[in-house]
Amino acid sequence: MSRVPDTEHRIESLLWPFVDGLVDSWALPGVALCVVRHGDQVAARGFGTRDRATGEPVTADTLFHLASISKTFVATAALQMVQTGELALDADITAYLPDLPWGDPRAAQITLRHLLSHRSGLGDVTDYGWHEPELDDGALARFAARVAGWTLERDPGAGFAYSNAAYELLGHLVATTCGQSFEKALQERVLDPVGMRTSTFLRADVPPHLGAGPHLGLPPRVVDGSYPYTRRHAPSSSLHSSAAEMGRWMVAHLAGGAGLMSPQTHEVMWEPQIETGWGELQAQMAYGWFRGSYREHAAVSHSGSDPGFESNLVLLPDLGLGVTVLTNGNTAPITTLTRAALDTLLGLEPPPPPLPPVTVPLAPVLEGYDVHAASDLYRQLAAADPPTVDVEEGFADAVWGLIEVHRTDLAWPLLELWRLVQPRSAVSWFMTGWAHQIDGHRQTAVEHLRRSVELDPDDDEATTMLRRLSGDE
């Protein structure tokens, strides 16, 4: 049997049933996968539902919010402009954006190379403002002006520090140089040449019959008015695309940037710039893409996570293989799904399916806000031998998205349950402190964050939030 039908058979007989089983056992809203083999042969499929309230199915054409995978598109546009001479990798960005109110003299040392590889010295966004979306054409420029006024956290080029804010600045730079809105520039320079006709950075352009809804909370559901979209964060986060059209994206990059840039420029885009310390797939940072390895094969990748959506994109260029996984919830085992797809393409058996998180059986009980009944069920499940669920997992995934979109009213029952059953979880104290901070209870937030840091002194996120709320910075 030839390689192609054998791979097709493995996808049909191994991968799709594996995904279908996980969607069922983990009670996931929806998942879409696309795999590419031999560089140009694409298989894509949807599982589950776009919205649990309607039951409409996910298909290969369903459009998901991709979150940070958006950055690979922005990086591609920027490298295109380097190739045409519109931008230069080592030119100071302040020269391209002289009208921004630069607040730190060191900003004059920031180059395009630094922005692309997360070495700008800029900090990151602390509140994305999903609850107060800015939808006008000036939203990105206003945010870029705010970022320009920040004091840098380190000297440009001094080290790797992932920054969504740096990519908003990069997107503004692309738009300003092109003389267009960011979204139009990306559509014309990147999406259209690859044939991604329904993909868009503008949520308003997502057809209602194609859009996946973000599922939040426990049980996961689409919450009216809660969507991770605002045009001030378009470059870092707002691309909407489908499994089928992500197949076109992977094919173009596996072909050396075909239709987008020269092979020489494409090779530059994937050159490692700095170690990240993140390991395996994300061991090094290139220009908008992570470099690493998977089972000793060279890999380039990017993942994404925003309230109600998770995504992953991995290419093994030397083998002509690619995988994209898209979900409309925060509870999917995205790494497991990715590894299963890659292993199937490599001729290996998918990994054993993991036990579902304890939040799956707890969801129907907590739907009625009966925290004590849910607590009793948790203790029964924790005592089961052999275990049927992972009693340590699920709470953080179910709650953080609600807090980030400022829907703490829906988060409190889950936070109360979490504290009851895992009182020594540093993450539960951190999340509760974060929710109190959102609700304006500053002192209560500080108390919870202090307890979080006591339990886990190495949690930089909790430490930073505590320092900020305590007035120490």
* Number of continuous H segments (helices) and E segments (strands) in the chain: 20, 13
pTM of the complete model: 0.96
Q: How far is CA 281 from CA 36, 70, 307, in A?
A: 18, 18, 23
Q: Distance between CA atoms of 112 and 119, rounded to whole angstroms?
A: 10
Indicate the pLDDT class of residue 5, thresholds 50, 70 and 90.
low
> For residue 166, what pLDDT is reported?
98
Indicate the pLDDT class of residue 473, thresholds 50, 70 and 90.
very low
> For residue 436, what pLDDT is reported?
98
Contacting residues for 418 by C-beta, under 8 A, at least 6 apart? 395, 399, 425, 428, 431
> For residue 369, what pLDDT is reported?
79
Listing DSSP states for 285-316 in one string gives: E-SSSEEEEETTEEEEEEEEEETTEEEEEEEE
Q: Distance between CA atoms of 378 and 226, rounded to whole angstroms?
A: 29
Whether 139 has a pLDDT exceeding 70, the answer reads yes
Q: Distance between CA atoms of 226 and 329, rounded to whole angstroms?
A: 13
Whether 252 has a pLDDT exceeding 70, the answer reads yes
DSSP 351: P
> Vertex 9, ends 5 and 11: CA angle to 5°?
120
Alpha helices in 307-455 (DSSP H): 334-345, 359-366, 371-383, 395-404, 408-421, 426-438, 442-455
Active site residues: 68
Q: Average pLDDT of 246-274?
A: 97
Long-range contacts of 186-195 (CB under 8 A, 24+ apart): 186/73, 186/74, 186/77, 186/239, 189/77, 189/80, 190/73, 190/76, 190/77, 190/80, 190/260, 191/73, 193/259, 193/260, 194/248, 194/249, 194/252, 194/259, 194/260, 195/245, 195/248
Q: Distance between CA atoms of 401 and 374, rounded to whole angstroms?
A: 21
- Distance separating the N- and C-terminal Cα atoms of the chain: 65
By C-alpha distance, which of 66, 10, 1, 8 is closest to 349? 10
pLDDT tens profile 65-94: 999 999 999 999 999 999 999 999 999 999
By C-alpha distance, which of 434, 428, 365, 371 is closest to 394? 428
Q: How far is CA 271 from CA 73, 116, 299, in A?
A: 16, 12, 12
Contacting residues for 384 by C-beta, under 8 A, at least 6 apart? none
Whether 2 has a pLDDT exceeding 60, the answer reads no
Q: How far is CA 117 from CA 252, 269, 381, 471, in A?
A: 21, 10, 45, 31
> For residue 179, what pLDDT is reported?
97
Q: Average pLDDT of 282-301?
A: 98
Both tokens assigned to 421: 């059953």
Stated as kind and residue range, the H or E segment containing 46 is strand 41-51
Judge contact between 270 and 218, C-beta under 8 A: no
Q: How far is CA 253 from CA 214, 259, 300, 467, in A?
A: 28, 9, 10, 43
pLDDT tens profile 426-462: 999 999 999 999 999 999 999 999 999 999 999 999 9
Q: Distance between CA atoms of 313 and 250, rounded to whole angstroms?
A: 9
240: helix, strand or coil? strand
Indicate the pLDDT class of residue 14, thresholds 50, 70 and 90.
very high
Whether 377 has a pLDDT exceeding 70, the answer reads yes
Q: Average pLDDT of 174-192?
A: 98
By C-alpha distance, which of 256, 252, 249, 259 is closest to 270? 256
